[in-house]
Amino acid sequence: MKTLKQLFVSFLLILVGFHASARGSFAIVIDTASLRQARAEVEAYAAAVEAADGCKVIVLEDRWGIPDSLRAELIRLHASKKDPLAGAVFVGDIPVAMIRGAQHLASAFKMDEERYPREDSSIPSDRFYDDFSLRFNLLGKDDHHNWFYYSLAPEGAQRLRPDIFTGRIRPVDAEGKVRVDVLKRFLLKAAAARLNPPLVEQLLFFSGHGYISESKTARQDEKRVWLEHFPLLDDGRNHISYIDYSDAVPVKSHLMNEMMRPDLNVAMLHHHGAPDTEYLNADERPYMVKDAKQYMIKSMRSHLWRARERGKDYQKMQEDFKERFDVPDSWFADVFDPEAHLRDSLSDASLDLYLDDFEGYGFRPQPQVVILDACYNGSFHLEDCIADRYVFSEGNVVAVQANSVNSLQDKWPDRFFGIIAEGAGVGNLSKYAPYLESHIIGDPTFRFKGGKSGLNDVILQDNPGQWKKLLRSGSPDVQALSIEHLHRKGLLSTGQLLSYYRTSPYAVVRMEALWSLSEEGGDDFLQALKEAVGDADEFIRRNAVKWIGRNGDSSLIPTVIGCFLENNATSRVVFNTTYALHSFDKDALLAEFDRQISSIPMAMKDEEATTLRQALDHSASRFLEDEARITQDSLSFKEKRSLIRQVRSYANTESLSHLARYTRSCEDPGLQVLLLEALGWHGMSCRAGEILSVARELASDESLAPEVRAEAVKTINRVNP
């Protein structure tokens, strides 16, 4: 008699027979041991994907154990004329590529690769496997893990455009569970979800402590944009729930309870993170005098306890606290009392969500798709991480998008989010909104029921005519994806992109048009920036101000001063404006400030104008001295190195010109490499042409050191992709 598992597989294989021919293919890449131990479950999952998508599923046993060989096989399968490879999932112990020299492809990661160990300063990334335009040089294998270190080669692409979608299913031994049993259970869960997917009907988004300056306006606009992502939910009923960290202290149980709602389909969690932690709350803010006292006592007690544990002079620290805050000895009476420390530890543990909480609280998250907009929660190369706990829990989660290293708070975490309700697999979220650190953990083929655009087929065929038709789709995200595809093919002019920005009623379409313009530059981009600072959507305004700073063209000075003087600017727009000011000539900024403020009605105008002018002066000049010091002979290489790294994030346009000239004349190869790398971050700058000219000159100068010429080539490909 057949087992239940065998009957399940047979049923799936019968379903597959209803498809006359496969369209495209999908690879399940799995290590030998996992395949041997979970073959029946792998076959069940493969059959479910074939039945649901009508594609050819290839079970590809990783006999190589070397990333280069596996990548070559994926490239070969993708190039096949019959059933070209559309995506892959890496199951079990598939080698991890640890990427170096590619921080410009990540959203935020900027750890110094020279100062820190390579296991910490490299980025675990499956872009190695899915973006075939990139080139890599092997640096060696890790001594203790199945990690291979690669540097990004200068000759390849310097921006991300993955050719296939990918995902990771890598269970480990944790919580007393054996990895193969965890793998088997997940594969059957994923197979069942593929055959019987729900509609997208219930959504949740959460914002944690200290994220995006805790902007309430940003979250208000986010909810409105979610109805653009999922327009069918705009029917007058409540489909979207929201939790803010300040709703409760601690908010953890409230969030976990909401995540266990059986009808929940999608969750977007914005917060800070670590591989083992979702940082949700801060200590409750005191509102009464007695609460403030206890808050201070607990804070000082925690600092002193940690100082003693680390062998620091905690007694001196205690005396400093007494003097600085004018507090009595009685406040320190129980500093090292074990019971007080236990209370503090339990209080701290209640603020955030940890790996142990999944088992300890019986946490069974229910949404099929979870986005962890946080640092390090998706560190799939480690023996455990938060994203793994979500997908391998006994809840309904089958796919999590998460980051293997730290992540920019201002990144676009929900770009093209709505395509998962239009028939596109969730793996396409990382394919079309790629960052070096962003990955799908779980099943990248999962898609919800619904969608009339045939989007999966359009993506596979990639026909310009079909994309042009979808520009008129009823789904704003499908329109946005059409703009992205046509822009990549060079089939949309900057004038057309500006027109889409100006005319679309949808924030996701306007943002996509602005994003595409940012990659092109030119007068239409500058005009769009001038208009976008007044957009109805906060995320567009926030990015427009940031890009104004990245460009630095003098024609944008009236616009950035207007933002600086805006009474009701949101906290994140103010944050980005403060840094944008540094890109421009300070005297020109102050002159424009004087011109504009003279016509603005203000209470206590003289006092406020003086304060604002001082703030403007500080913001505009805060890095100028550091940038000027780079060229001084009196500074050591180490000092210059630190200052040059700072240029990657912030640079005055005049300083960029000055540093470009210095790069040409500098005779220190080490400095030239550092300068070229830093200048390469400014491809959006109005001085990009000068940077490109210097890089081309150095790349062709055969008298220079090979490493200088190589970095010059990389800079050319970054600034002029």
Antiparallel, parallel or unpaired: β 277-279 and 272-274? antiparallel
For residue 513, give the nearest of 553, 560, 476 by alpha carbon.
Answer: 476
Q: Within 13 A of 559's CA, how many CA atoms are on the CB side?
A: 24
Comparing 120-134, 453-467, 633-647, the range with the smallest average pLDDT is 453-467
Tell me what percent of the residues of the chain surpass a pLDDT of 90: 81
Give the pLDDT of residue 595: 94
Confidence of residue 21 (pLDDT cuts 50, 70, 90): very low
Domain extents for the chain?
4-192, 198-281+352-442, 289-349, 492-621, 633-719
Amino acid at 208: G
Q: How far apart are CA 704 and CA 273, in angstroms?
A: 43
Quick check: do 198-281+352-442 and 492-621 share a fold? no
Reply yes or no on whether the pLDDT at 16 is more than 80: no
> In this predicted model, what pLDDT tens digit does every residue of 71-119 receive, in sequence order?
999 999 999 999 999 999 999 999 999 999 999 999 999 999 999 999 9
Lowest mean pLDDT among 194-198, 202-206, 420-424: 420-424
Fold classified for 198-281+352-442: Rossmann fold (3.40.50)
- Lowest mean pLDDT of 102-106, 120-124, 310-314, name the range: 310-314
Report, as an integer, the average pLDDT of 642-648: 95
pTM: 0.92
- Please say if the pLDDT value at position 406 is more than 50: yes
Compute, in degrees rounded to 10, the torsion defined by CA atoms 182, 184, 185, 188.
150
- Residue 52's H or E segment, with its range, is helix 39-53
- Check residue 339 and give its pLDDT: 87
Note the Cα 420 to chain centre separation in Å.
18
Could you report the per-residue pLDDT of 200-217, keeping only the tens digit for each?
999 999 999 999 989 989
Whole-number pLDDT of residue 348: 82
Q: What number is the average pLDDT over the span 604-631?
A: 90
Say which CATH topology domain 492-621 has.
Answer: Leucine-rich Repeat Variant (1.25.10)
* Measured distance CA(53)–CA(44) in Å, rounded: 14
* C-alpha atoms less than 13 angstroms from C-alpha of 285 in its C-beta half-sphere: 5
d(CA 592, CA 661): 29
Question: What's the whole-number mean pLDDT along residues 366-371?
Answer: 98
Q: How many CB atoms lie within 10 A of CB 325?
A: 10
Is the predicted pLDDT of residue 122 greater than 70, yes or no? yes
